[in-house]
């Protein structure tokens, strides 16, 4: 067994907090989160108010620049974003190198890094605020284009150019689902639903991907590289990738005859790696306020879109069973934002592999705001310590040389 106290003495005074369960990495004035009470606020505005009264682009502005935009500021912000929705034509050729089976999160993170090759001025860490702002606008403008194009590529369909007469969400939906051969009628119910979902994902203080963005940025790597790091962190099943895994789990339960209790028992079994995806959260020890909004919205959206989905019934039953089970009660495991979002995404027609990409589009303003704040406060390079548990000094003698 490892004697931690001895190792600690050898390494000097080090605070051990694996997974940073109780370690603050920064001060921040962007997002307030009270996990015990289930409160989430951005720049002082409650998530409930923002989801009800603001648009996603407004929330993006709020997170990045610190205040709600005036009408003129919002207009200027939107037209700046519109001006930059196109990506360099050579990027279309890069798409052809990806197999159709490529996961769109991998494609997206690669292409976001690639953007730095097309905008090399972004590599200078000491650029003025105007130049930094241009990169921010480019990211907000181009990521929906790259995301939609990665889907088109997976389908073998032609990529559609952005239509800058349209709003942020409309434009993305058209590039996703439109075809050059026919008129694409944008369903306002779809636009409203996606806009709300993006708001609900916009920021969440020092989560795994935002912390990654700040860590990468702390070395003065470019904003593109930092955001690409965030996308990769989000991809994992314990973070943003959970929304894909929730639907896969619900489908598995459905295919297995809908035996809820069997899966509750599996999740409780310490010898079974199975976890109830979309349940539990590092910070929330109460209802995730975003999950509450999404759950309510799920019925409304499915109704509006005229979709019947058996997995929604399974999800509701699963939630009820878990909320009444000692195991989940004692560990304060509640549904998180991912539990119901996938059901809405699927009702909207998105394929499962695109779910985490939608999360990335929503989280982008939060990542940018976190990066901007950390750069403005000249946050020191992130460099945690460790306690070494490997071999002590030994002579370099190969096995065959040893007599
Ligand atoms: N199903 C069953 N048991 C769970 C679950 C779950 N979903 N989540 C946590 N537990 C149990 C753990 O086994 C552990 O039990 P133990 O004390 O008997 O060992 C206890 O609850 C604490 O769990 P930890 O893993 O220590 O908590 P942590 O804060 O490290 O993990 C996490 C949080 C990763 C979100 C976890 O709850 C999980 O894996 N959930 C499922 C994946 C998921 O939904 N991720 C999305 C999170 S939200 C987001 O990123 C947008």
pLDDT in tens, 22-62: 999 999 999 999 999 999 999 999 999 999 999 999 999 99
Q: 255 C-alpha to center of ligand 1: Å?
A: 25
Q: Is 294 in the pocket of ligand 1 (CB under 6 A)?
A: no
pTM: 0.93
Protein residue with its CA nearest to atom 36 in ligand 1: 280
Q: Is 281 in the pocket of ligand 1 (CB under 6 A)?
A: yes
pLDDT at 10: 65
Separation in Å, CA 188 to CA 59, 131, 207, 301? 19, 35, 32, 11
Q: Is 285 in the pocket of ligand 1 (CB under 6 A)?
A: no
According to DSSP, the residues that pair with 40 across neighbouring strands are: 33
CA atoms of 318 and 259, how far apart (whole Å): 10
CA-angle at 136, arms to 130 and 140, nearest 5°:
145
CB 288 within 8 A of CB 337: yes
Which residues form the catalytic set? 281, 338
pLDDT at 4: 66
CA atoms of 65 and 67, how far apart (whole Å): 6
pLDDT at 297: 85
Q: Which two tokens stand for residue 231?
A: 């996308």
Protein residue with its CA nearest to atom 37 in ligand 1: 280
pLDDT at 12: 73
CA atoms of 391 and 373, how far apart (whole Å): 41
Q: Which H helix or E strand runs over 45?
A: strand 45-46
CA atoms of 97 and 176, how far apart (whole Å): 20
Protein residue with its CA nearest to atom 24 in ligand 1: 282
Q: Is 240 in the pocket of ligand 1 (CB under 6 A)?
A: yes
To test the pocket of ligand 1, the residue of 198, 272, 273, 280 to mutate (highest count of ligand atoms within 8 Å of its CB) is: 280
Protein residue with its CA nearest to atom 50 in ligand 1: 239
pLDDT at 391: 95
Residues of the chain below pLDDT 50: none
Protein residue with its CA nearest to atom 20 in ligand 1: 331
Q: Which atom of ligand 1 is nearest to the CA of 275?
A: 1
Q: Is 275 in the pocket of ligand 1 (CB under 6 A)?
A: yes
**How many of the other CB atoms lie within 10 Å of CB of 21?**
8
CA atoms of 209 and 236, how far apart (whole Å): 10
Q: Is 338 in the pocket of ligand 1 (CB under 6 A)?
A: yes
Q: Is 280 in the pocket of ligand 1 (CB under 6 A)?
A: yes
pLDDT at 7: 63
């Amino acid at each position: 067994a490892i004697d931690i106290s001895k190792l600690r003495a050898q390494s000097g005074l080090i605070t051990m907090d694996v997974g940073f369960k109780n370690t603050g990495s920064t001060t921040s004035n962007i997002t307030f989160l009270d996990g015990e009470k289930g409160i989430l606020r951005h720049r002082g505005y409650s998530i409930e108010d923002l989801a009800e009264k603001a648009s996603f682009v407004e929330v993006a502005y709020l997170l990045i620049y610190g205040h709600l935009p005036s009408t003129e500021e919002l207009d200027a912000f939107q037209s700046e974003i519109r001006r930059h929705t196109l990506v360099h034509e050579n990027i279309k050729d890069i798409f052809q190198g990806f197999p159709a089976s490529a996961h769109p999160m991998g494609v997206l993170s690669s292409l976001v890094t690639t953007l730095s090759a097309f905008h090399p001025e972004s590599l200078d860490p000491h650029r003025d605020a105007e130049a930094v702002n241009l990169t921010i606008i480019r990211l907000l403008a181009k990521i929906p284009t790259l995301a939609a194009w990665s889907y088109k590529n997976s389908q073998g369909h032609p990529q559609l150019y952005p239509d800058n007469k349209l709003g942020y969400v409309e434009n993305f939906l058209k590039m996703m689902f439109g075809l050059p051969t026919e008129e694409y009628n944008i369903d306002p119910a779809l636009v409203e639903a996606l806009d709300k979902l993006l708001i609900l994902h916009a920021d969440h203080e020092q989560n795994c991907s935002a912390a990654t963005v700040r860590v990468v940025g702390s070395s003065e790597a470019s904003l593109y590289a930092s955001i690409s790091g965030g996308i990769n962190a989000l991809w994992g099943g314990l973070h943003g990738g959970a929304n894909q895994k929730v639907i896969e789990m619900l489908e598995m339960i459905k295919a297995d005859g809908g035996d809820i209790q069997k899966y509750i028992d599996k999740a409780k079994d310490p010898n079974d790696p199975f976890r109830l995806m979309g349940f539990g959260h590092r910070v929330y020890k109460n209802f995730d306020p975003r999950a509450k909004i999404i759950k309510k919205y799920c019925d409304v959206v499915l109704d509006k879109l005229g979709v019947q989905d058996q997995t929604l019934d399974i999800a509701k039953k699963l939630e009820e069973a878990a909320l009444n089970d000692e195991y989940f009660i004692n560990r304060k495991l509640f549904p998180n934002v991912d539990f119901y979002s996938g059901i809405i995404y699927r009702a909207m027609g998105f394929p499962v592999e695109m779910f985490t990409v939608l999360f990335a589009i929503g989280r982008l303003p939060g990542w940018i705001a976190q990066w901007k704040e950390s750069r403005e406060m000249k946050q020191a390079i992130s460099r945690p310590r460790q306690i070494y548990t490997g071999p002590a000094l030994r002579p370099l003698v190969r096995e065959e040389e040893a007599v």
